[in-house]
Structure formats: structure tokens, C-alpha cells
Amino acid sequence: MIKRRTQYFLALLLVLMTSGPTLAAEAGHVIAKRVTVLPVRVLPRSDRPLFVTESAPGQNIERPDTTPLEQELAKQPELDVVPWSQVLATLRNSVNVAETDALTRSSIELGIDEYKSLKLDKAQKSLLRAQELMHSVLLGIRDPDLASKLYLHLGLVYLEQGDQDQARIALGTMFFYNPGRTFPAGYYSPAVETALTSAYSDFLRLAPLDRPVVDGKTLKSFANNAGISQLFTVVVRQDHPSQVQVHVFDLKRMVPVHNVQLRATSKGLPHPDPFERFISRYVACEIFERFPANPWDRRFRRASLELNGGYHTYGRFPTRSILHNTSIALFVGRGLSPHVAIYGGLNLLTSVEDQNKDLSDRLVSMRFMGGIEFRTRVQRFTFFFSPGAETNIMSGFQVLTSPECKFFGIDHPLCEQSSNVRDSGLQLLMGINASAGMRYHMTNSIYLGVRGIAGMYLVPLSGKKVDYPLGGWTAVGFEF
Amino acid sequence: MACGPSDEFTGRWESAENGQASGSVLNGYLEIVVGQYGNDASGVLRVYDDPFLKFPSAQCPCMYLVDGKIRGTTVTFVLNFEHCTAMVADHTHEGEKTSYVLSLDSLSDFSAAGRILDANANELQIFDLDRIEYEDELIDEVERTCVMGSQQGNP
């Protein structure tokens, strides 16, 4: 009879458990965005002479110092400003450069020699090899003059081969790395001079000036190795010296996010006032507005469904030896703020055989639980503490203390029922509990967790045969 | 050894092959069913005239084993002869009931040495047992009672 009653009870609980849904939303945090300011790009006048009588290849235009811009950016607590020199140092350390740098330089020199010897195919091969090596270690970013030299000769080789399109691209890229480059007048043929002039014109109109390298693959490699989220680039066009362009490029999303024209100072930098206003807008839009728009950061508002399983026992139990239980629980929850959530759920416990087999049958408990969760998130982990309340409905149980009652049955004359059999009907217990634990977020919506839970029953005030629930659970949760 | 302390004696034990109990107390083939509950135990002992047809012993077909206590690898029961009339006559001293103790020493998971002692701890009988069943659930209700045909051993 007892077994049948318990079976009905278990079946009822299982139905309730499977039809019911903890909370695991987490807190979002604004982590300082790492930004850097590229050296100012100064674009000479469009009508400047490219071919001069006394010039040296690789001649540099004087660039304004970007320190004032970095200082202005560093005032924003949401930004972590990394000096460009430090980014370059990071690149040198993050890629194995020593040998490859040397190989690149050697290939460039070889290609130039082969070009001068009119071994065009070999020159092309050497220069393309040098290009590949250079990009593999981001040498073009670290040494723009070298990159400029490579692309000049690559362009010249293409011209000699009659490939005007490739030549135009290569020569344009040369100007990307060294916009102020000039050439000795009369040194190149008229066809080469025409190609260089045309490439310079293309460069001024079309070059992507908001990034340190043109090639997309190399830019991605830079993004992976530099440890920077966004790039600031100031472009000074000497055709319009009263204004400067400020570009912001997002290396995570690989897209330009801002491009503004600001009043310039005499030194060729953005005027402090408009630049400060721009930075305010930038922080407001790019940091705070994006914060709630980012699904990861909005997670605290999401609901969650958590399935728990594990071990449970009670500090007070009706048997002579400790009463072990298996436990499964289903919780639903919803975040109220990054650090607070509410949760509720259902927990089903079934006892396992105690050492003395005092319980004549399994003790089944159904706990309705709910409460508040306080939590904090550290990277992929959420740590939480949850005070709550619970109602525990326990099946009736029978405790036998005599081996004769256990072996022969309670109706047997050898079983003295009065002293050896204790019956307890259905029990309703109400009390408080607290749990603490952590979760590891495997993906945006799935996490694994562990939880320890303890409590005590306040109702009824006396006569409780079971009290002080205590458990340790593992969980898998889904957020949606 | 068994899986846990609660399993050390639980199950059905029978006289070892070709080993009939003989001595001053029980004569025949023995079968003991034991339920162990932590350090407590209970059981039923049956005596058959032969191991194959299992005709219950006329003197005393079965008796209850009560107050079983386990100490280490030994369990001791009090033998309840009350309804084994013939044996009661044999083992009643000047009209007073005499108590006997059955002691089982576990030798391994599947063998034990049994002894019957009198109230003065004199060893009256020794026999070997083999374990046939290991689980409480495999002992059915009928085996837990002393009802043997017309002879009923209710206390």
C-alpha cells in the first residue's frame, strides 16, 4: 500500500516537474575600450610636383605630434589609450619578426636588382614573395618606407610588363605608405611619370586613410595581434589646411564607425574644443549607446531556465543514519538589473536506502522555491548568492527500528509496533533557505553551474521530523 | 568482502555441499535466510531431512532468528525454539527454557562458518554454509515466515 502511494506521488511530481521552468541572467560591465591614435596622415597638395630635381625617395613630411589627442582621449574613463609606439612594440613581440624581416628586405633588394637587370618575371616573383613576407609579420605597418619602396618597384615591374591596372594599384599603395614621396625629375620614362601622377591622384581620392594597411587580410592580422579595439586617425589635407578629418575604425567589426571634419589648429591637429565635443559624442554613442544594444550586455534582462541535479540531505532526519537523497530541480528566473534577479522553481527529492534501512520506503519531497538572486559577473563566470523561501511537501513515511519488523513485516508478532514503528503522514514544511554558487557561460545562451543550498523550516514550529535541508547541485542553464 | 556492511550477511545461506549439520542440536540440511540492517539482523532457519527433496525436519522444521547483532564479520542470533516442541523437550533443563545462540562468521562473500552455542558459550555444533542469494529483495514473503505445511512455527 505504501509503495503504491509513493508511486502515485512520484508520478504526480514528475508531471509537475516537466511542466514547470532559475535564473541566471548576468551583469553587464563596461570594460575600457583599448584605442590608439595612428600617426597623423599628412596628404600633400594635389598639385604638388611629384618629380623634383633634388629629392630623395622616401622623403617624409613633418607630422604633427599626436600626444595632445591621446591626452584628450585618456580623460575618458571608458577608454584605455595605448600609444602607437606601444602597439608597434606589441606587434614586434607578437609575431616572429626577426628572420622574416630580414627575408623581406632581402627579397625586396633581390627584386629591385632583377628589375634593374630587366629580369621582369623574376623581379615580379621576388617582389610578390617580399610582399607576402612583409604582410605576414606586419612589417609594412612597422616600416612604411620599406613598404613604399616595395610597391614602387612592383608597380614599375607591372608597367614594364604592360599590366596597367596592377601597376596603378601597386603605385597607389606606394603612396598609401608614403604620401609625400617625390621622384627625381627625368629619371623615369614619360609613361612611368604618367602612371605615377595618375596613381597619386587616385590615392588622394580613394585611399582608405582610416587604417594602417590596405590589404584586408593583413588588417585582420593586425587586429588580432595589436590588442586594440578601435583606431583613431587624423588626416591633414594640405589642400584644405583649415580642417582635419578624424576617422575611427573598429577593428573588432572591421568597419569604419566615425568620419568627421573638424576645425584644425595651426599645428595640423583638430582644435581642442570641437575635438572634445566629438569625443563626448563618440563615448556617448560608441560606448554607452552600444552597451545596452549589445546582446551580450543585455543578458541581465533575459529569462533563464536551469536544470539542476545533485545530492541532498537534511540536518535533521528520521532515520538513525544520515538520509541521502537524489535531487533534480527546475528553476526559472529573470534579471531585474545587472546584479539582481528573481527566481522560482520546483525541486524533487527522493531518498536512497539508508544504512540501516530504517525507512520502509522512499521518502519523496517536493519543494517549491523562490527568492532573490544577487550576482556579479567576472568574464565568463557569474557568482551568485540567493536568499529565498520554500515550501516542502513530503510524502508520508514509515520508520522501522527493529530488524524483526524490517524482515518479517510490521504485522508479524515478532515486531513490536508500539516501540519499533513510527508512522508519519504527509508533511507540509515552510521555511527559508540560501544558496550560493557560480556559473560558467559556455556560449551566449548556455551555461554550466554549481550551487550549494542550505535552509531551515520555520513552520510547523515543533514536531518536525525533517529539517535543515542541505544540498549540492550541478546545473545546465539556458538563457533566452 | 561484500559491497557494503549491510550486505555482508543478507541473503540465503545453505549447508555447504555434502555437508549436513550434525551435532547435539540440529540434525539435517540447514537453510538460513538473513536480512541485515546496518548492524542489526533477523532471519529464519530451516532444517530439512535431505538437501534434495527438502522435506522439513520433523523435530523442528524452522525457527526464527531474532536479535541479530553484527560485530565485525560475525553475526549472532538468538534461536527461538519455542515452537519446535520436540527440540524444546530436548533442550529444556529441569523445566526451564534454555537459550541458544547461532553465530555466523563470514569467511568470504559466499561462505560462512556457523556455530550453535549454549547459554554458557559452550560450542554445541559447528557447520559450514554457502551463500546462495545475495539480496534482500530475492527473499520472498513465504521464506520470511515459519509456515511449513501443517507445522507452523509461530512464536
* Cβ contacts of A357 on chain B, cutoff 8 Å: 6, 37-38, 136
Strands A446-459 and A467-479 turn out to be antiparallel
DSSP E strands in A106-229: the ranges are 183-184
Predicted pLDDT at A31 = 62
Interface of A with B (CB under 8 A): 320-321, 355-358, 402-404, 406-409, 412-414
Q: Is A403–B144 a contact, with Cβ atoms under 8 angstroms apart?
A: no
The residue segments making up the domain with residue B27 are 11-139
Beta bridge partners of B147: B152
The answer to whether A117 and A137 are in contact (CB under 8 A) is: no
CATH fold for domain A33-287 = 1.25.40
Residue A24 binned pLDDT confidence (cut-offs 50, 70, 90)? very low
Signed CA dihedral, B77, B82, B85, B87: sign only: positive
Residue A30 binned pLDDT confidence (cut-offs 50, 70, 90)? low
Residue B1, pLDDT above cutoff 50: no
Contacts of A390 (CB under 8 A, 6+ apart): A347, A367, A368, A369, A370, A430, A431, A432, A433, A455, A469
- The rounded distance, in Å, linking the Cα atoms of B4 and A182 is 91
Environment class of A51 (CB within 10 Å of its CB; exposed 0-12, middle 13-18, buried 19+) = middle
- Over range B39-65, report the average pLDDT: 86
Predicted pLDDT at A400 = 93
Average pLDDT over chain B, rounded to an integer: 78
- The rounded distance, in Å, linking the Cα atoms of A209 and A221 is 18
Predicted pLDDT at A437 = 96
CB atoms < 10 A from the CB of A379, how many? 9
In a domain, B152, yes or no: no
Residue A167 binned pLDDT confidence (cut-offs 50, 70, 90)? very high
The answer to whether A306 and A452 are in contact (CB under 8 A) is: no
d(CA B145, nearest CA chain A) in Å = 7
Backbone phi, psi, residue A194, to 5°: -65, -45
Please give the grid coordinates belonging to residue B25: 542440536
Residue A60 binned pLDDT confidence (cut-offs 50, 70, 90)? low
* Cβ contacts of A355 on chain B, cutoff 8 Å: 5-6, 38
CA of A39: how far to CAs of A142, A222, A232, A298, A313, in Å? 12, 16, 9, 36, 66
Q: Hey, is A398 helix, strand or coil?
A: strand
Residue B3, pLDDT above cutoff 50: no
The answer to whether B12 and B31 are in contact (CB under 8 A) is: yes
Query: Tell me: the pLDDT tens digits for A429-479?
Result: 999 999 999 999 988 789 999 999 999 999 998 888 899 999 999 999 998
Q: Does residue B9 sit at the A interface (CB-CB below 8 Å)?
A: no
Predicted pLDDT at A301 = 79
Query: Tell me: the pLDDT tens digits for B76-120?
Result: 999 877 667 666 555 555 555 567 899 999 988 889 999 988 878
From B42, B154, B155, residue closest to A403, measured CB to CB: B42
Query: Tell me: the pLDDT tens digits for A191-247?
Result: 999 999 999 999 988 888 888 888 888 888 888 888 888 899 999 888 888 899 999
Give me the total of CB pairs closer than 8 Å, taking one residue from chain A and one from chain B.
47
Residue A359, pLDDT above cutoff 50: yes
Predicted pLDDT at A19 = 38
Considering chain A, what percentage of its residues have pLDDT values greater than 90? 42
Q: Which helix (H) or strand (E) holds A162?
A: none
Contacts of A110 (CB under 8 A, 6+ apart): A126, A130
In a domain, B2, yes or no: no
Predicted pLDDT at A14 = 47
Q: Identify the CATH number of the domain defined by range A2-24+295-479.
A: 2.40.160.20
Gyration radius of chain A over CA positions: 37
* Cβ contacts of B79 on chain A, cutoff 8 Å: none
Strands A230-237 and A33-37 turn out to be parallel
Predicted pLDDT at A5 = 58
Return the higher-pLDDT residue of B134 and A367.
Answer: A367
Signed CA dihedral, A401, A403, A408, A412: sign only: negative
Common-topology check for domains A2-24+295-479 and A33-287:
no
Contacts of A76 (CB under 8 A, 6+ apart): A279, A283
Q: Does residue B154 sit at the A interface (CB-CB below 8 Å)?
A: yes
Gyration radius of chain B over CA positions: 14
Q: Does residue B11 sit at the A interface (CB-CB below 8 Å)?
A: no
Considering chain A, what percentage of its residues have pLDDT values greater than 70? 89
DSSP alpha helices (H): ranges in A20-119? 67-74, 84-94, 98-116
SS3 assignment for B88-144: HHHCEECCEECCEEEEEEEEECCEEEEEEECCCCCEEEEEEEEEEECCHHHCCCHHH
Task: Say how many residues make up chain B.
Answer: 155
> Do the interacting molecules here have an ipTM over 0.85?
no
- Over range A159-170, report the average pLDDT: 92
Helices A164-177 and A144-161, axial angle in degrees (round to 10): 170
Beta bridge partners of A52: A184
In a domain, B130, yes or no: yes
Query: Tell me: the pLDDT tens digits for A263-318?
Result: 988 888 889 899 988 888 888 777 665 544 454 455 677 899 999 999 999 999 98
Q: Does residue B143 sit at the A interface (CB-CB below 8 Å)?
A: no
Domain ranges of chain A: 2-24+295-479, 33-287
- The rounded distance, in Å, linking the Cα atoms of A177 and A131 is 13
Q: Is B40–A409 a contact, with Cβ atoms under 8 angstroms apart?
A: no
Environment class of A123 (CB within 10 Å of its CB; exposed 0-12, middle 13-18, buried 19+) = buried
- The rounded distance, in Å, linking the Cα atoms of A339 and A28 is 9
Environment class of A224 (CB within 10 Å of its CB; exposed 0-12, middle 13-18, buried 19+) = exposed
Nearest to B8 by CA among B111, B79, B138, B77: B111
CA of A399: how far to CAs of A266, A359, A366, B17, in Å? 93, 5, 20, 39
* Cβ contacts of A409 on chain B, cutoff 8 Å: 141, 144
Q: Does residue B40 sit at the A interface (CB-CB below 8 Å)?
A: yes
Residue B151, pLDDT above cutoff 50: no
Predicted pLDDT at B23 = 63
List the single best residue of A407, A408, A414, A420 to mutate versus B (max B Cβ within 10 A).
A407
For chain B, what is the domain count?
A: 1
d(CA B46, nearest CA chain A) in Å = 15
Please tell me what DSSP assigns to residue A286: I
Q: Is B37–A414 a contact, with Cβ atoms under 8 angstroms apart?
A: no
Amino acid letter, A160:
E
DSSP E strands in A175-254: the ranges are 183-184, 230-237, 243-250
Distance of CA A336 to the CA centre of its chain: 23
Predicted pLDDT at A149 = 93
Strands A427-441 and A303-316 turn out to be unpaired
Domain of B57, CATH number, reads 2.40.128
Distance of CA A7 to the CA centre of its chain: 48
Question: Which conformational region is residue A411 in: left (phi greater than 0), alpha (psi within -120 to 50 degrees), or beta?
Answer: alpha
* Cβ contacts of B37 on chain A, cutoff 8 Å: 356-358, 403, 406-407
CB half-sphere exposure, B21, CA atoms < 13 A = 29
Predicted pLDDT at A6 = 57
* Cβ contacts of B35 on chain A, cutoff 8 Å: 403, 406-407
Predicted pLDDT at A171 = 93
- Over range A313-341, report the average pLDDT: 92
Q: Which helix (H) or strand (E) holds A37?
A: strand A33-37
Query: Tell me: the pLDDT tens digits for A88-142?
Result: 888 887 766 778 888 999 999 999 999 999 999 999 999 999 999 999 888 888 8
Residue A21, pLDDT above cutoff 50: no
Query: Tell me: the pLDDT tens digits for A443-455?
Result: 878 999 999 999 9
A111-120, B6-15, B105-114, B137-146, range with the lowest pLDDT = B137-146
Residue B149, pLDDT above cutoff 50: no
The answer to whether A227 and A250 are in contact (CB under 8 A) is: no
Return the higher-pLDDT residue of B64 and A300.
Answer: B64
Contacts of A421 (CB under 8 A, 6+ apart): A398, A399, A400, A401, A405, A410, A415
DSSP E strands in A361-426: the ranges are 364-378, 381-394, 397-400, 421-424
The answer to whether B131 and B111 are in contact (CB under 8 A) is: yes
Signed CA dihedral, A286, A289, A295, A299: sign only: positive
Q: Is B6–A321 a contact, with Cβ atoms under 8 angstroms apart?
A: no
Q: Is B155–A357 a contact, with Cβ atoms under 8 angstroms apart?
A: no
- The rounded distance, in Å, linking the Cα atoms of A421 and A401 is 7
CA dihedral A217→A219→A224→A227, nearest 10 degrees, is 180
From B38, B40, B42, residue closest to A408, measured CB to CB: B42
CB atoms < 10 A from the CB of A334, how many? 17
In a domain, B154, yes or no: no
Predicted pLDDT at B150 = 41
